[in-house]
């Protein structure tokens, strides 16, 4: 199988490292330092156990240099999805499949607008990766990946799942991924913005009582919105699940914190912003998510940290 991975950040490199021994994989991105490091030294992958291995990865910034691919794996930030759709259009075979494993809501719709529904699939992954420096990532831990299929995409999604499983990336198929997408969204709303605002690793949110309350409230707020639009999350208490994830990934820097540390735009609009917009549409108040949205946007503009005491923590959900 020929695979094009759009995105040369931590997640793009992680999937590239796992898939490249089994498929013809090329990464496509526009980060000069990363492309130079991959071309010069390959990728250094630090495993959860601390052991480092080196993998050769083909990477380019030129779509025309990539042979037509069967699978375009979309692993860019949500604000880059429109551009990723155009890149996928250039490198996909006519019957190829674009598969998004991105955070947040709205990515599938953006891809479908360019590529049509029969060429697009949606997935959710609990795999985690942290960029250490150009050419070096840490695999933050294994987690399952779920891919959704339709009648039109079933065979191609099954082929992608088989490749992932063969590569050691546990992958399952589902007919409706909405529950998983909103489940991951609820965790992201609890963990990502707080770690970015406070400049802390995930474990701090589980240890600090004030941060824990905000995290769990944000996650539960998201769950209420999901329930209102008819989506049942894959666990009974979103707040407790966010706490469990923060504890299990205590040493990790969230993707939003990584964005803030390198001065890059965050995915806050596709995470808390999506909750706020859906809450307004259904007349459900989302005060915590709205506050987190405003604070992260202010952080992007002013590069300032806040105190936990600046956040409201008591709402009736």
Q: What does the buried/exposed string (b/e) look like for 239-257 if buried means 16 or more CB atoms within 10 Å of the residue's CB?
A: bebbbebbeebeebbbbbb
The contacts found for 264-268 with CB under 8 angstroms, 24 or more apart, are 264/77, 265/77, 265/79, 265/300, 266/77, 266/196, 266/296, 266/300, 267/77, 267/78, 267/79, 267/103, 267/104, 267/192, 268/192, 268/193, 268/292, 268/293, 268/296, 268/297, 268/300
Angstrom distances, CA of residue 19 to CA of 85, 199, 272: 21, 32, 32
Q: Which residue has the tokens 């199988």?
A: 1
Coil, helix or strand for 129?
strand
- Write the CB contacts of 139 (distance below 8 Å, at least 6 apart in sequence): 14, 45, 46, 47, 48, 127, 128, 129
- Is 184 an annotated catalytic residue? yes
**C-alpha–C-alpha distance, residues 189 and 222, integer Å:** 7
Q: Which residue of the set 184, 240, 291, 294 is catalytic?
A: 184
Straight-line distance from the first to the last Cα atom of the chain, in angstroms, rounded to the nearest whole number: 48
Q: Which residues are tagged catalytic? A: 184
């Amino acid at each position: 199988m020929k695979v094009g991975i759009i995105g040369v950040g931590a997640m793009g490199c992680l999937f590239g490292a796992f898939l490249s021994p089994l498929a013809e994989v090329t990464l496509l991105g526009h980060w000069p330092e990363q492309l130079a490091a991959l071309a010069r030294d390959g990728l250094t992958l630090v495993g959860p156990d601390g052991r480092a291995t080196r993998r050769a990865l083909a990477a380019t910034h030129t779509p025309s240099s990539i042979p037509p691919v069967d699978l375009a794996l979309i692993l860019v930030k949500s604000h880059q999805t429109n551009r990723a759709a155009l890149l996928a259009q250039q490198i996909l075979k006519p019957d190829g499949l674009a598969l998004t494993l991105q955070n947040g809501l709205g990515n599938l719709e953006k891809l479908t607008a360019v590529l049509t529904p029969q060429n697009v699939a949606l997935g959710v992954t609990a795999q985690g990766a942290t960029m250490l420096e150009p050419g070096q990532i840490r695999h933050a831990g294994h987690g399952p990946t779920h891919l959704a299929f339709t009648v039109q995409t079933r065979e191609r999604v099954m082929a992608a799942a088989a490749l992932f499983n063969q590569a050691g990336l546990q992958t399952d198929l589902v007919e409706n991924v909405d529950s998983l997408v909103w489940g991951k969204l609820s965790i992201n709303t609890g963990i990502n913005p707080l770690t970015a605002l406070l400049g802390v690793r995930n474990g701090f949110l589980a240890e600090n009582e004030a941060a824990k309350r905000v995290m769990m409230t944000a996650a539960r707020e998201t769950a209420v919105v999901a329930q209102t639009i008819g989506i049942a999350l894959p666990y009974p208490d979103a707040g407790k699940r966010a706490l469990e994830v923060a504890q299990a990934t205590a040493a990790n820097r969230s993707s939003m914190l990584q964005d803030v540390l390198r001065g890059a735009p965050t995915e806050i609009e596709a995470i808390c912003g999506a909750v706020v917009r859906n809450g307004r549409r259904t007349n459900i108040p989302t005060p915590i998510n709205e506050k987190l949205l405003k604070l992260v946007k202010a952080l992007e503009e002013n590069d300032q940290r806040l105190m936990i005491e600046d956040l409201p923590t008591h709402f009736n959900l």
